[in-house]
Amino acid sequence: MSSYEQNNVFARILRGELPCKKVYEDEFALAFHDINPLAPVHVLVIPKGEYVSNADFAAAAPPELIVGFWRAVAKIAKDLGLDSSGYRLVANHGAQSGQSVFHFHVHIFGGKMMPHDMTKLPGAAAKG
Ligand code: 5GP
């Protein structure tokens, strides 16, 4: 995988150069609504650091950032009210996954029944 590109769209959101609909922020993570939601709840969580994908994040991030990031993901899902109904986490890595923004991010999908077939995306925003 190629190296981190400083002007990817999430780097620019992190630097405050582009707006986002913020859901949560702490020292480890920033979370905001996806611009093109694929479920009634579709939030993206990004770490505060320059990591291309999960492989890069797992290999290179300091342990406290990895722990803080994943704790933030769980807290955000809970704060969104998804704990009891359930939710899906997705992190795309590389071309065949369909990754389109090369700053590591986790998708939180919720608010509808997810298709069990992992080749399908969660689906349009209609309640399921
Ligand atoms: P990927 O395909 O890389 O896993 O996911 C990238 C996600 O970022 C897509 O779901 C896409 O809709 C979202 N996205 C792309 N550009 C922007 C943007 O400028 N703002 C927000 N909020 N989401 C974006």
Find the domain containing 83 and state its range: 9-120
- The response to whether residue 20 sits with its C-beta less than 6 Å from ligand 1 reads yes
When pLDDT is cut at 50, 70 and 90, the band that residue 126 belongs to is: very low
Task: Report residue 23: phi and psi, to 5°.
Answer: -110, -35
What is the share, in percent, of the chain residues with pLDDT greater than 70? Answer: 93
**pLDDT for res 127:** 42
Is 91 within the bounds of a domain? yes
Is 125 within the bounds of a domain? no
| 52-56 long-range contacts, CB within 8 A, separation 24+ | 52/1, 52/2, 52/3, 52/4, 52/102, 52/103, 52/104, 53/1, 53/91, 53/92, 53/93, 53/94, 53/99, 53/102, 53/104, 54/91, 54/93, 54/104, 55/1, 55/93, 56/1, 56/4, 56/104
Is 3 within the bounds of a domain? no
When pLDDT is cut at 50, 70 and 90, the band that residue 117 belongs to is: confident
In contact, 42 and 33? CB cutoff 8 Å: yes
CATH number at residue 48: 3.30.428.10
Is 21 within the bounds of a domain? yes
Is 126 within the bounds of a domain? no
Is 25 within the bounds of a domain? yes
> Does residue 49 have a pLDDT over 70?
yes
Average pLDDT on 46-74 reads 98
Residue for token digits 């009210």? Answer: 81
| Catalytic residue IDs | 105
> Does residue 72 have a pLDDT over 90?
yes
> Does residue 27 have a pLDDT over 70?
yes
Q: Residue 47 and residue 70: Cα distance in Å, rounded?
A: 9
Is 102 within the bounds of a domain? yes
CB 35: neighbour CB atoms within 10 A?
A: 10
Q: How many separate domains does the chain show?
A: 1
> Does residue 71 have a pLDDT over 70?
yes
Mutate which of 44, 102, 107, 121 to test ligand 1's pocket (most atoms within 8 Å of Cβ)?
44
Is 47 within the bounds of a domain? yes
- The response to whether residue 115 sits with its C-beta less than 6 Å from ligand 1 reads no
DSSP 74: H
> Does residue 76 have a pLDDT over 90?
yes
- The response to whether residue 36 sits with its C-beta less than 6 Å from ligand 1 reads yes
